[in-house]
């Protein structure tokens, strides 16, 4: 089993690398579900990980749903080209039709852009599959499109709740495509994911930090939220997750 950590900073990328993660999903604005990281963030993250793990940037031009306009797709095509040219090992994409099916036209454009930029680029379909009408039909289409893996919570709000569907997805993929559990995944869920045959787990491993208590002045947030709060990668969570994964992998070899 492999460990992937979602990070939003070069420092977070370095933390994930130092604690032995296998991959990172690099993004910005994790509190919005994640959007495409900047080229500067990609460059800095490459420097911080120093080749110790794979970097897979999220390609999502805006927050919200996964029903993209032609302009949205054009933007993501450009993002794919630039980020793969900077050394990304693959990209994380997803798009749906208004009916909740995989948007084949949009996805083909994104896949083609990735293949043109790097023929060996890995392709991950993100949790848009959990908003799809039929995750198994979507999985069959992704197999045909040549995807490397799917990040999913098993069509439920959390991966723990979606364990049964995740198990069925592993069976359906038959090893031709990696099923990676993620979405509300807790450390306590990891053994069950391993037992179900999941080959990877994905955690945000985040904590929120704030300077409001240090005398920072609010800039006018009206909803009661802390305007100084932001997410960082929690080293202890990454370390604990890696320890669990290592223990399970070791036990499986005995």
Considering the domain boundaries, does residue 62 fall inside one? yes
- pTM for the full predicted model: 0.94
What's the pLDDT tens digit per position in 86-96?
999 999 999 99
Local structure of 203: helix, strand or coil: strand
Q: Is residue 73 part of a domain?
A: yes
Question: In 209-233, which positions are buried (b, 16+ CB within 10 angstroms) versus exposed (e)?
Answer: eeeeeeeeeeeeeeeeeeebebbbb
Query: What whole-number distance in Å separates Cα of residue 38 and Cα of residue 82?
Result: 10
**Alpha-helical regions (H) of the chain:** 10-18, 39-49, 70-85, 104-117, 135-144, 163-173, 190-195, 235-253
216 assigned to some structural domain: no
pLDDT computed for residue 220 by the predictor:
56
Does residue 218 lie in a domain region? Answer: no
Give the range of the structural domain holding residue 64, as residue numbers without chain letter.
2-211+226-253
Task: Give mean pLDDT, residues 166-177.
Answer: 96
pLDDT tens, position by position, 17-28: 999 999 999 999
Query: Per the domain annotation, does 219 fall within a domain?
Result: no
Residue 197 clears pLDDT 70, i.e. is over it: yes
- Whether 30 is covered by a domain: the verdict is yes
In a domain, 238, yes or no: yes
pLDDT, tens digit (0-9, with 9 covering 90-100), for 63-109: 999 999 999 999 999 999 999 999 999 999 999 999 999 999 999 99
Looking at the 3D structure of the chain, how many domains does it have? 1
Q: Report yes or no on 75 lying in a domain.
A: yes
Residue 225 has pLDDT above 80, yes or no: no
Can you give the CATH number for the domain in which 64 is found?
Answer: 3.20.20.380
Given a cut of 70, whether residue 247 has pLDDT beyond it is yes
Can you say how many angstroms the Cα of residue 217 is from the centroid of all Cα atoms in its chain?
A: 33
């Amino acid at each position: 089993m492999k460990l992937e950590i979602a990070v939003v900073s070069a420092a977070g990328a370095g933390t994930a690398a130092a604690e032995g993660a296998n991959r990172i999903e690099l993004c910005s604005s994790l509190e919005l579900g994640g959007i495409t990281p900047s080229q500067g963030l990609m460059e800095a993250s490459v420097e911080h990980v120093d080749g110790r793990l794979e970097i897979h940037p999220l390609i999502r031009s805006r927050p919200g749903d996964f029903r993209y306009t032609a302009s949205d797709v054009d933007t993501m095509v450009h993002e794919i080209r630039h980020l793969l040219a900077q050394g990304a090992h693959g990209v994380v994409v997803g798009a749906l039709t208004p009916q909740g099916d995989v948007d084949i036209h949009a996805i083909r454009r994104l896949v083609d852009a990735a293949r043109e930029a790097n023929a060996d680029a890995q392709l991950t379909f993100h949790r848009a599959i959990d908003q799809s009408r039929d995750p198994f039909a979507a999985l069959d289409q992704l197999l045909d499109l040549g995807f490397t893996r799917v990040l999913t919570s098993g069509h439920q709000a959390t991966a723990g709740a979606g364990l049964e569907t995740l198990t069925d997805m592993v069976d359906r993929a038959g090893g031709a495509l990696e099923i990676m559990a993620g979405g509300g995944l807790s450390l306590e869920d990891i053994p069950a994911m391993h037992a179900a045959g999941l080959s990877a787990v994905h955690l945000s491993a985040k904590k929120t930090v704030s300077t409001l208590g240090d005398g920072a002045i609010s800039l006018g947030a009206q909803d009661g939220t802390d305007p100084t709060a932001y997410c960082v990668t929690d080293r202890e969570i990454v370390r604990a997750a890696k320890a669990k994964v290592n223990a399970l992998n070791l036990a499986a070899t005995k």
